[in-house]
Amino acid sequence: MNAILGSLIVLGSVIGGFTLSNGQIAALFQPYELLVIGGSALGAFVIANPIRLVLSVLKGIPGLLAGAKYSRQSYLDVLGLLFTLFDKARRDGIMSIEGDIEAPETSAIFAKYPNILKDHHAVEFISDYLRLMIAGNINPFELDSLMSLELETHHGAAEEKVDALTRVADALPGFGIVAAVLGIVITMSSLGGPVEEIGHHVAAALVGTFLGILLAYGFVGPMSIAMEHKANEEAKFFEVIKTCLLASVQGYNPKMVVEFGRKAMPIHLRPGFAELEEHIKGSKA
């Protein structure tokens, strides 16, 4: 939603200001200039990056149109899930949750939290480390190091996409200059013709520079920043899961485990102690 709203504001401000200054909107419609700039930027992007990264960035762009992936309810759900698993393990033994983590899609506990179940990476992360805890003989410090390494690797992959998109944004003004130079070349070949035709070619060349700068700073650059926020948002969600798992392996009871997780939540999404307590009671029921 933010991406759509922001894009409308950018376009409205630029086109509105141009129109109110007695500019002709038709003069900004230069599809061939846009082809030169967009095509060149895409080609350079493909040259510079492995195809798996290119596809990953392209797949990630539509996700920017959606809102935040993790809401307050997402955090409450994951804390409720972890509490239920740890509570069952404390009452019936750690082996009692083996079936839940080996087949989360058929687990009655995971089924109570469908939004978490749809997050395959979160389910895999929880299941993998609970499996290690069931195996036993794992040191909390070793577990912390292993989880940190995995999260760092995952976050690094997200940052790789951000960096690739940022470089495209940095290159777009240059491709705008390329389009402008080509426009001037066309203008030079028209010298001696009607003044209106020369003026049209010069305007098209200048629009090339304008489009390169607008795309860089009005759209692609902000998209890379939005993608970075998405990556940081996901990293924080997994940090909460990590905190709970570490608290559990250190021997804290399930209520204390989820309290540790609550403290690790972003401040603007963090529920109060009483709200979390009520949610946990619902999970227990």
Q: Are 208 and 37 in contact (CB under 8 A)?
A: yes
Q: Average pLDDT, stretch 82-86?
A: 93
Give just the sign of the alpha carbon dihedral 251, 254, 256, 259: positive
pLDDT digits (tens, 9 = 90+) for 35-64: 999 999 999 999 999 999 999 999 888 888
Residue 136 has pLDDT above 80, yes or no: no
Classify residue 18: in a domain, yes or no: no
Does 74 or 285 have the greater pLDDT score?
Answer: 74
* Local confidence band at 142 (pLDDT 50, 70, 90 cut-offs): confident
Q: Average pLDDT, stretch 253-270?
A: 92
Q: Are 25 and 19 in contact (CB under 8 A)?
A: yes
* Local confidence band at 284 (pLDDT 50, 70, 90 cut-offs): low
pLDDT winner (highest mean) among 62-66, 164-168, 185-189:
164-168
CA distance 109 to 274: 23
The whole-chain average pLDDT of the chain stands at: 89
* Local confidence band at 285 (pLDDT 50, 70, 90 cut-offs): low
Residue 264 has pLDDT above 70, yes or no: yes
Query: What is the structure's pLDDT at 22?
Result: 83
HEC profile for 35-51?
Answer: HHHHHHHHHHHHHHCCH
Picking from 43, 16, 23, 247, the residue whose alpha carbon sits closest to that of residue 133 is 247
Classify residue 13: in a domain, yes or no: no
Classify residue 1: in a domain, yes or no: no
Both structure tokens of 195: 């003044």
Classify residue 15: in a domain, yes or no: no
Classify residue 219: in a domain, yes or no: yes
Picking from 57, 262, 237, the residue whose alpha carbon sits closest to that of residue 163 is 57
Query: What is the structure's pLDDT at 228?
Result: 93
Identify the domain containing residue 163 by its residue range: 31-284
CA distance 153 to 27: 48
Q: Are 84 and 281 in contact (CB under 8 A)?
A: no
* φ/ψ (deg, to 5) at 250: -85, 0
Total domains in the chain come to 1
Query: What is the structure's pLDDT at 54?
Result: 93
* Local confidence band at 139 (pLDDT 50, 70, 90 cut-offs): confident
Query: Helix 72-92 crosses helix 254-264 at what angle (to 10 degrees)?
Result: 160
Give the least confident one: 166-170, 235-239, 253-257, 279-283.
Answer: 279-283
Contacts of 113 (CB under 8 A, 6+ apart): 77, 78, 80, 81
CA distance 148 to 130: 15
Classify residue 5: in a domain, yes or no: no
Query: What is the structure's pLDDT at 238?
Result: 95
Picking from 175, 155, 151, 139, the residue whose alpha carbon sits closest to that of residue 43 is 175
Query: Global pTM?
Result: 0.85
Alpha carbons within 13 angstroms on the beta-carbon side of residue 247 total 23
Q: Average pLDDT, stretch 84-88?
A: 92
Classify residue 212: in a domain, yes or no: yes
Angle at 176 between CA 174 and CA 181, to 5 degrees: 95
Classify residue 177: in a domain, yes or no: yes
Q: Average pLDDT, stretch 231-254?
A: 93
- In the chain, the percentage of residues whose pLDDT exceeds 70 is 99
Place of tokens 């495209």: 168
130 three-state secondary structure = helix
CA distance 257 to 91: 15
Task: Enter the DSSP assignment of 265.
Answer: S
Query: What is the structure's pLDDT at 220?
Result: 94
Q: Are 207 and 27 in contact (CB under 8 A)?
A: yes
**Beta-carbon neighbour count of residue 106 at 10 Å?**
10
